[in-house]
Structure 1
């Protein structure tokens, strides 16, 4: 940490000295140097769909998306408003290659090309958000969706892709400040007591005689939900400030604060194909009331009560003859672990009815029946909670030298703290923060027939992450959703116990410092041929602990070393190489090859202590991409297509929760068309195949009733069976459909009135890596009418107009056939805004 502070101090001194030198040498003439900006003036593209503005998200050279040799899509705030996109899951309707399975109902990050993506804020990576809170999009001026890894300048990133959020600012991408102040106050209502207030204000200013600008955004959300016992309470504040220190030097700073309260949503339990197809749900209550028979009857199932109940069960394994080769044996308890013979992996078809009956985890036969289940009856109880605070701050200093060099120092801070409690037996808590400083030197060199733009960037990033979770008795199926949670199913969790009485599955404290050195060069030859090369070297110094040493925490961990600490270091090299060639100023084919060394971190940016000990906290990934981009019909039609093969290699740190090794391949098509000024069209098509790479053809998973058709489901629904399952070396990931496509249109019906319609098709898909449950295909149709004048905006938005029943796989790699999230039926919202 001391080295980090020294580096930041040195960078700040260097930038301040550059600022003083610039003020001494700058002329008195007020000159504003604008960045390159290419616009098709003859096209009225007020939704920003034609991808014609410079985008720095991928490589930072001010290229447009048409010029960028990678698959990128940009979505403007105006487009988000017209199509009522409120969360990152809505982006799926407008960007190819994106489809997100449910991370217990919390839209924290997208899946891109079948793998988890990352979130960036102004080009700097935020902490992981694997369902820790809904990532906000309303405060963004633009969202760039990058398929494939980010620039080496931004640090090694996940191979699937990233979302880069550009906050609303008083300084436009052209480098100019707003001419006048602007603001807006809006209110939104709708289905299920939707209740959202927003306000924003921005404009130019003068401060100490130089140009400045500001933009403020605030949002308060206090809404109920379609799902029983669910709600959203959120306060979101964002501010950005820009200030010219001289004609050559400026600063940009600001931040975002988010306070969110809601719930995880496990969706439906007791999943069968009949439930998905017909809504037929198996009812019944567990045969054993653990709380009253083995505890204090307080209405909560405590871990000591489960321990006492387990002492009454017959032996180590259900057969009474442990470790018999060629037969299936199971450890007893609420979460039996089953295996074939001497801990060999098994096929679920080998599990017999007699074996399951012997486990004693089923429902009371006298209570078993069926009923029709509504989509709003889900795994949320009134005792559940999810409270998160997240903060992001940035401070940039940019200086342009007279010799053509520029220097940028980007200082970035991100933090999140949360507590999550789920009555089916899961809780997690986290307190993590990261601080990063990037120093970027840039210059463009011009020669007779070619130009070369260069970036050099040393950086340092320090992460301090605490993350604890308890999943030892995470039982979805004890709850009869037709009756709701009760004393038979609600579990006590350690985050609600006094110090000294807590028992956790894992209790990670980790800190690590990442030192990076990156370079990028963008070379253009004869105005047609472009070669882009980038490389990065990272050195990571890490230490961590699972447990609290001599403290009061009880650790019931699957970690083979129990409570222990570790420290280690490792380094890795990242590179990207792209070649593109523009033909007749209309067609640009390209090829890209990239290899990444990514830090394998957990839900809150934490490092697994075993990964530190074994020096496996860096994971490799690879991307090959071939693409073609086109600008036709005088710039009114943008088209792009890409074929890709990518793989994330993390065998030594394989984890079905967040760090699976996967291979993906597919192709994506996109068009954006403004045939005339009153009509805008967007179309996407994706065909992808994502497979989990499982050395030895075995993965750990919980086994749903659909995986054991030979067993009566009611004999299992009081607990949950897990094991190392034979799935083959490259099974489909589950939950990610092969084919999706979408078509969206915005039409100016009359002066100030636009109608908008989007249709998205999603192919059928198996919900789990094990197969067994098929989620049906569906068409999602959304529409809206928006009146937008100089002073007022009024919109009515209709979602799922066809009232389709459709579902998302929930955590497909671990719980795919145990829980499925039913999505929202037809719903509406309306927004009114006053602009000033």
Structure 2
């Protein structure tokens, strides 16, 4: 891939140089008119104060932030640089309601107000993918973060809110560009080349933009990389006084693997980095490629393996190396209570009934409940934050091709007709050796046409309308192998990965069970479903948005949308064990919102928002299974906005409530949730050189029905009754740990309603967060910024058996700039805070934890303009 990246980089630079020369050959001074002046003004609106930019992605284009009756965070290119926003995980550094869940280390989607958010690009909804690749920022100029469901003129998305990615725009002022070089901790290397210029396309003024980003990087965590290539091109043309086009395309290629973090989570692991060691009894078989036979693991867990002694618990418990046990000087009764696997009689009794070719465990001591009843304790060792479940053989590779084409026509009457066409195609392939695989292909074609016109109603009233139609086609196919996923089997404290914790997965062929692959789940699961689904979804919509101004103080924004959907869902034509099953259907939805706004005076305004919406939540790879992927939701929000001191001070205070029926891609059902919260944001240009940005957010999200599969409380209550999670891991580390009610002898005894959390408050991320950021330019060359994020303590699972302490993470930048170059040193976790990343509450929070880098992460960036 590195060779391909270099070739692409050379071609881009050569093409840019040639294009640039052509653009500069024509030295005629051309009156580019109002259109060009507007483009240049947009390019120069690059400050940390959000009101210096207009907002396009809420109700109408080019609205002032203070006039929009919704909570919105705006990130300019300058803010993106100073906050070091490189992917959606970084959004937790800035703004209220922006959070971070670690979806296996690949931030495919943002998390807003306690839930996943949608992604729009240039106002058009991108295909959904939860963690198949980090959504590319290579074509991104700025960002608008809108809280809550999308207004009705946009096709439905998630309830938490959405991000509108604003594409890099061509340069109309002059030919210019830059080369940016980055080098940082963990062998991080990145090259960005950005170039553009105005030119005459015949008699039409035009401009282009080319951008290349290439990254070759490891990460803080062992065996986890982050390599990508992004190639972007854009063109704007003023075809006539009334008609213009804006078109662009990006090719993105990502090569990496997942970061599953720490397995076997316990409170002692969180507090002291103490990890329960050992691996389960061997189920390695030579005929299975010399690795663990997952069919035996399934049988041992569910009780259908051919054990003649019936003691399935032996194969769920962990084995501790003999030298460690014997050096511990255990009392005789405790040592006798462990099973010594070096004893041939013990071994024969343990493996009785197992296939003859299983490579048996011949040393070490097997945990038993009797050992803990005799006062024994689990054996642990200290691990580092970067010791994670990932393996060098794992991969998560993706390819994304995206294109857009906008054409705008202004009529003499003042009306504006806009047509937006958006196309995107994503292909991904992902495998983890601990037994997980995912493959996805997704294609989207989306077209929206709208007309905007203003109607004067008397001297003090006016009505602004935007109405139109939209058609969208989504084809998606995904194959998934996640049924077992026995992550707890692997001992990540070991320097190498044993064959006993590696499994065939995904497209691998099972040599011992009929030559089938694993995409079906090997449980005869009916389909289509989360294991294997191929869908074709057509969405047709009509929408109307209006802004009714009454005098200078009161306005109402209202919108409505009617959608009709048709879909066909089937089992993909793959050699799975799922029988072919085709589901077809159709449905209609009505979304509406009303948003009043009252201006108290020149500085203060009140607003409200009431919205009933349909939220769209496909499977993690974009496929659907039916109507259940469309859930009803509502938003209630009130707030106050202030803009004072000639725009140098802006703040928003808001209170919100939302509820939704959210699709569960594990069970294929809609689950109800509700949330309420308070948010505050402040941006203050104290002087010409000093800017302060602050935010506060506090929210509580609850599930309103009993917990289901994969959200069950973990509660590894061991059979000894001690209630010690470490004992639970020692006795159940070879199990699936999938949170079934009453599974494995009842280690989830409370089922779907844990007594420690009767309100079913959703865990996995801090509920209260405070952020403060100060940027100062000391002189025309030198500047610095420092920011801190304080997060309150939080629970990792519904039954609240593990608590993460509060933390304060400090980041800083130092930069020096001349006309010829700019250098910036970025430092993350400056105080070396001991903290964790949020975890997916529906699964990962019960099985995995990811510790953030414990030491300072550095990056040096050098930018040379040309």
Same fold (TM over 0.5): yes
| Corresponding residue for residue 536 of structure 2 | 511
C-alpha change, 1:319 and 1:628, in structure 2 (3 Å) is farther
TM-superposed CA distance for 1:741, in Å, is 0.6
Q: Is 2:700 aligned against 1:670?
A: no
TM-superposed CA distance for 1:617, in Å, is 3.3
Q: Structure 2, unaligned stretches of length 5 or more?
A: 1-29, 318-336, 339-348, 355-360, 368-377, 522-530, 742-750
C-alpha change, 1:673 and 1:656, in structure 2 (3 Å) is farther
| Corresponding residue for residue 15 of structure 1 | none
| Corresponding residue for residue 623 of structure 1 | 635
TM-superposed CA distance for 1:621, in Å, is 0.6
C-alpha change, 1:267 and 1:300, in structure 2 (3 Å) is same
User: C-alpha separation between the residues in 2 aligned to 1:401 and 1:467?
Assistant: 45
Q: Check the 8 A contact 2:661/2:670 in 1, yes or no.
A: no
C-alpha change, 1:658 and 1:697, in structure 2 (3 Å) is closer
**Per the alignment, in what secondary structure is the counterpart of residue 597 of structure 2?**
strand
| Corresponding residue for residue 849 of structure 2 | 820
> What TM-score does the superposition give when structure 2 sets the normalisation length?
0.82
Deviations 1:110-160 (A, max 9, x none): 211101001110011101120111123353221111101222222122221
TM-superposed CA distance for 1:401, in Å, is 1.0
Match of 1:241 among 235, 258, 266: 235
| Corresponding residue for residue 88 of structure 1 | 88
Deviations 1:728-765 (A, max 9, x none): 67411111212101000110122221101000001111
User: C-alpha separation between the residues in 1 aligned to 2:199 and 2:548?
Assistant: 38
Match of 2:692 among 675, 681, 685: 681
**Per the alignment, in what secondary structure is the counterpart of residue 503 of structure 1?**
coil
Q: Is 2:648 aligned against 1:642?
A: no
Deviations 1:390-426 (A, max 9, x none): 1211011111111222111111011211011111111
| Corresponding residue for residue 386 of structure 2 | 376
Q: Check the 8 A contact 2:712/2:752 in 1, yes or no.
A: no
| Corresponding residue for residue 592 of structure 2 | 575
**Per the alignment, in what secondary structure is the counterpart of residue 66 of structure 1?**
helix
C-alpha change, 1:454 and 1:334, in structure 2 (3 Å) is farther
User: C-alpha separation between the residues in 1 aligned to 2:826 and 2:296?
Assistant: 50
Q: Check the 8 A contact 2:716/2:728 in 1, yes or no.
A: no
Q: Check the 8 A contact 1:764/1:777 in 2, yes or no.
A: yes
| Corresponding residue for residue 114 of structure 2 | 114
Give matches, 1:790-801, under 5 Å: 790-801=819-830
Q: Is 2:268 aligned against 1:266?
A: no
| Corresponding residue for residue 548 of structure 2 | 523
Deviations 1:555-578 (A, max 9, x none): 3xxxxxx64111010111001110
Q: Is 2:270 aligned against 1:276?
A: yes
Deviations 1:594-649 (A, max 9, x none): 111123311121012xxx2xx43321110000010001223211011100000112
C-alpha change, 1:487 and 1:38, in structure 2 (3 Å) is closer
User: C-alpha separation between the residues in 2 aligned to 1:446 and 1:52?
Assistant: 28
| Corresponding residue for residue 326 of structure 2 | none
Q: Check the 8 A contact 2:431/2:438 in 1, yes or no.
A: yes
C-alpha change, 1:656 and 1:375, in structure 2 (3 Å) is farther
Q: Is 2:105 aligned against 1:105?
A: yes
TM-superposed CA distance for 1:382, in Å, is 1.6
| Corresponding residue for residue 142 of structure 1 | 142
C-alpha change, 1:800 and 1:246, in structure 2 (3 Å) is same
C-alpha change, 1:316 and 1:271, in structure 2 (3 Å) is same
Match of 1:713 among 711, 723, 729: 729
**Per the alignment, in what secondary structure is the counterpart of residue 477 of structure 1?**
helix
| Corresponding residue for residue 615 of structure 2 | 598
C-alpha change, 1:333 and 1:700, in structure 2 (3 Å) is farther
Q: Check the 8 A contact 2:619/2:665 in 1, yes or no.
A: no
User: C-alpha separation between the residues in 2 aligned to 1:89 and 1:472?
Assistant: 27
User: C-alpha separation between the residues in 2 aligned to 1:105 and 1:210?
Assistant: 46
| Corresponding residue for residue 76 of structure 2 | 76
Q: Check the 8 A contact 1:600/1:659 in 2, yes or no.
A: no
| Corresponding residue for residue 537 of structure 1 | 562
Q: Check the 8 A contact 2:280/2:316 in 1, yes or no.
A: no
C-alpha change, 1:210 and 1:227, in structure 2 (3 Å) is same
Match of 2:291 among 297, 300, 309: 300
TM-superposed CA distance for 1:656, in Å, is 7.0
Q: Structure 1, unaligned stretches of length 5 or more?
A: 1-27, 171-176, 321-329, 336-352, 556-561
Q: Check the 8 A contact 1:271/1:706 in 2, yes or no.
A: no
TM-superposed CA distance for 1:216, in Å, is 1.2
Match of 1:552 among 548, 554, 575: 575
C-alpha change, 1:260 and 1:540, in structure 2 (3 Å) is same
TM-superposed CA distance for 1:501, in Å, is 2.8
Q: Check the 8 A contact 2:628/2:668 in 1, yes or no.
A: no
User: C-alpha separation between the residues in 2 aligned to 1:96 and 1:202?
Assistant: 35
User: C-alpha separation between the residues in 1 aligned to 2:651 and 2:759?
Assistant: 33
TM-superposed CA distance for 1:712, in Å, is 3.9
Match of 1:493 among 470, 494, 505: 505
C-alpha change, 1:314 and 1:438, in structure 2 (3 Å) is closer
C-alpha change, 1:316 and 1:209, in structure 2 (3 Å) is farther
C-alpha change, 1:434 and 1:698, in structure 2 (3 Å) is closer
**Per the alignment, in what secondary structure is the counterpart of residue 284 of structure 2?**
helix
**Per the alignment, in what secondary structure is the counterpart of residue 859 of structure 2?**
strand
| Corresponding residue for residue 832 of structure 2 | 803
C-alpha change, 1:279 and 1:140, in structure 2 (3 Å) is same
| Corresponding residue for residue 834 of structure 1 | 864
| Corresponding residue for residue 284 of structure 2 | 291
User: C-alpha separation between the residues in 2 aligned to 1:195 and 1:36?
Assistant: 36
Q: Check the 8 A contact 1:510/1:545 in 2, yes or no.
A: yes
Deviations 1:495-535 (A, max 9, x none): 24499631223211110100000000011111211100100
TM-superposed CA distance for 1:809, in Å, is 3.6
| Corresponding residue for residue 32 of structure 1 | 34
Higher RCO (CA < 8 A, seq sep 6+): 1
Q: What is the number of residues matched between the two proteins?
A: 753
C-alpha change, 1:332 and 1:374, in structure 2 (3 Å) is closer
User: C-alpha separation between the residues in 2 aligned to 1:371 and 1:123?
Assistant: 51
**Per the alignment, in what secondary structure is the counterpart of residue 89 of structure 1?**
helix
C-alpha change, 1:697 and 1:553, in structure 2 (3 Å) is closer
User: C-alpha separation between the residues in 2 aligned to 1:801 and 1:79?
Assistant: 19
Q: Check the 8 A contact 2:568/2:583 in 1, yes or no.
A: yes
Give matches, 1:357-506, under 5 Å: 365=365, 369-447=379-457, 448-483=459-494, 484-497=496-509, 501-504=516-519, 505=521, 506=531
| Corresponding residue for residue 690 of structure 1 | 701
> What TM-score does the superposition give when structure 1 sets the normalisation length?
0.85
